[in-house]
Amino acid sequence: MTRDPRYDILFEPVKIGPVTARNRFYQVPHCNGMGRVYPSTMAAMRRTKAEGGWAVICTEEVEIHPSGDHSPWCGGRLWDDRDIPYLARMCDGIHEFGSLAGCELNHAGQMCNNDYSRMVQLAPSHMPISSIAPKQARAMDKQDIRELRRWHREAALRARKAGFDIVYVYAGHQLSTISHFLSRQRNHRTDEYGGSLENRARLFREILEDTKDAVGDTCGVAVRFAVDDMIGEPGFTAGGEGRDLIEMMAEIPDLWDVNIATWEHDSATSRFKESGFQEDFIRFVKGVTTKPVVGVGRYTSPDAMVSLVKGGVLDFIGAARPSIADPFLPRKVEEGRIEDIRECIGCNICVSGDHSFTPMRCTQNPTKGEEWRKGWHPERIAPKTADESVLIVGAGPAGLEAARALGQRGYAVTLAEAGSQLGGRVTKERQLPGLAEWGRVADYRTYQISQMANVETFLESHVTTEMVRELAPDHVAVATGSHWRRDGVGRTNMNGISIAGSCGVLTPDDIIGGLKPEGPVIIFDDEHYYMAGVIAEKLVQEGVDVTYVTASTEVSTWTHHTLEQHFVQTRMMKAGIKVRTAQNLSAVRAGEADLACIYTDEISTLRGTVLLATMRLPDDALYYELLEAGVENVKVIGDAHAPGTIAAAVYEGHQYARELGEPPTEAVPFERELVSLSENFPI
């Protein structure tokens, strides 16, 4: 297949100071839970993106000094020359495919705990550090400022030595000391580094000019800046100081990487923001600088990308999450394979890996984080090991991915689904408020298997043991999903909840299935992810009076890991959903429920029908029936194995397909990053 000429503009080279990007696809800096802690994993992940056609691939934040120590966060580090080798390996992998490597240098100041370095935090003014730790940052004096400039310059030189082509001056997301000096909220100085915008931007200008002087002859120097803090006039706004600052320094950097506010705004999920929502904030930038501009917006459509370039909004299509979901997105556009793009669903499961200090994972791309660890490639997979057939029972996320990957390997696959549609839980949940884009998980896989002559799909097929015996496949994968419990068993109530015998309780399955309860509903959330919140939204939209109850001290607490918690709780409260936190559901009777304060055990009673979102049980009956009947080569996967996230189900489906026919692995089934002892170890 050949590239559609409509997309030719996306493959034009663009100069960034002394270097040239081969096309307009630009992987902006993004965290990944790998960094210096899992350097081989990180290097292979970035290398794969270069192979996939991204012209620029950048690091995450890279610390420049121990006074900006992000431990235990798994970011980058360039404190001294000993940190160069692992970053050089990353650069080598990127250069192998003709792409440019970018390094986002940063000193995070009061955003760091410095728990490893134990140094006092630095800030423009005396201020508590950003975490809840009982620590304060001290106001930097003139010598501190000179030292910060020196640290940044030396780090820029080390970055060039490691092989980077682009060096960043980071002033975005309120995550850098530079951005703290820019902030009227954080900078209370009365000297030449405080007060007016020109004064608050002095350090920014100095470090930018220092970096240009140090490496600007061979490296492009980029600036990352949030044009709007999303807090109104106390902060930067796109129509105020955000624009003023870019006009002030328009021609100094070689590239402007522009975005908005803090991370939860910049990387908002599809549940709360649609693709391209940042455009109105950053549209002005191209009008005030001649330098190339990159911006993000969870773009997956090449038509939208072309529109942005031709419309004079962006020179580069920036991406973090779309490059994670499909590292080969540019190659697929170039080769005329638009329909093969694995589109990002905007769920931010990738972010959760960074928050847990482990290599990121992706709902759409099960190979993410496994490029080095397991040798998984997002586009290539080993061919089948034998002319064998596989029956997959259940076409949810695990079953669909197993069928797709096994079909790619060349196996004869039969996919049997009891329902009338492919997709399982994804097809059902995509109908819930804010989750429409999650349907891409099913859409991508359904299309892929529809193109495979060796994969047969059967709907409304209730598979039994007798049917399996009659079909006699060589392998069987049971991917029959799960269902929500009705007895209240979960994290808080491990022995269940007292429920009166004649009292009917609801679960999310009932609402997803179309039931609309009469009268008020009490939703008890003991899962702490998205389900209780979206069910509450759906019911309120249908005119139901809803009270949300949780034993946690906040709504949907795990969504901190996906940058959504604040948005979830805000939307629920604005929608009129009554919120009762720190309350356990202790007893249910017809039309009412008792709540117990988790601190005092004080009981209060609410009127309404109870809906339990506690935990799910695997639908694994067929699996055990097949084992009992002596059917060989049977495996249970996905939610039927252990209910979890959609990402976990997709991963299990992919793992099953990868490992089928392969010899058993060693005790540790993946490569590990091992620490070597220092030669200076004291005796």
Give CA–CA dist 157/84, Å, rounded: 11
Question: What is the per-residue pLDDT for 683?
Answer: 60
Residues with Cβ within 8 Å of 43's Cβ and at least 6 positions away in sequence, in order, are 86, 89, 90, 93, 372
554 in a domain, yes or no?
yes
Q: What is the pLDDT of residue 260?
A: 96
- CATH number at 498 reads 3.50.50.60
26, 38, 168, 170: the catalytic one is: 170
Both ends of the chain: CA-CA distance in Å?
64
Under DSSP, the state recorded for 481 is: -
Q: Does residue 365 sit within a domain?
A: no
Half-sphere exposure (Cβ direction) of 599: Cα atoms closer than 13 Å: 4
Pair 581, 555: CB distance under 8 Å: yes
**666 in a structural domain:** no
Known catalytic membership, residue 173: yes
Q: Judge if 314 and 400 occupy the same domain.
A: no
Answer with the one of 355, 380, 409 that is the final residue of a domain.
355
Identify whether residues 521 and 563 lie together within a single domain.
yes
Q: What is the pLDDT of residue 526?
A: 98
- Spot the catalytic one: 26, 31, 525, 529: 31
Same domain, 472 and 530: no
Q: Is 641 a catalytic residue?
A: no
Question: Are 92 and 227 in the same domain?
Answer: yes
CATH code at position 457:
3.40.50.720
Looking at residue 125, its pLDDT comes to 98
Do 316 and 336 belong together in one domain? Answer: yes
Same domain assignment for residues 222 and 162: yes
Q: Is 604 exposed, middle or buried (0-12, 13-18, 19+ CB in 10 A)?
A: exposed
Backbone phi, psi, residue 677, to 5°: -75, 145
Write out residues in the chain with pLDDT < 70, as ranges. 682-683
Domain match, 606 and 624 both = no
> Which pLDDT belongs to residue 224?
98
Quote the strand ranges of 299-369, DSSP E: 316-319
Q: Are residues 431 and 502 in the same domain?
A: no
Q: Residue 62 is part of a domain; what is its CATH number? A: 3.20.20.70
Q: Say if 558 falls within a structural domain.
A: yes
* Annotated catalytic residue within 229, 266, 315, 619: 266
In a domain, 675, yes or no: no
For 46-89, write each residue's pLDDT tens digit.
Answer: 999 999 999 999 999 999 999 999 999 999 999 999 999 999 99
User: Is 170 tagged catalytic?
Assistant: yes
Same domain, 645 and 608: no
- 451 lies in the same domain as 574: no
Q: How far apart are CA 61 and CA 175, in angstroms?
A: 9
Q: Quick check: is 670 in a domain?
A: no
- Euclidean distance between CA atoms 597 and 585, whole angstroms: 9
Do the domain assignments include residue 366?
no
Residue 114 region by backbone torsions, left for phi larger than 0, else alpha for psi between -120 and 50, else beta: left
- Collapsing DSSP states into helix, strand and coil, what is residue 232? coil
- Whether residues 180 and 71 fall in one domain: yes
For 573, the token pair is 């409260």
For residue 580, is it within any domain? yes
Quote the domain boundaries for residue 193: 5-355
One domain for residues 477 and 508: no
Q: Of 173, 180, 528, 641, which is the active-site residue?
A: 173
Strands (E), 361-503: 389-393, 412-416, 455-458, 475-478, 482-484, 498-499
Total tally of structural domains belonging to the chain: 3
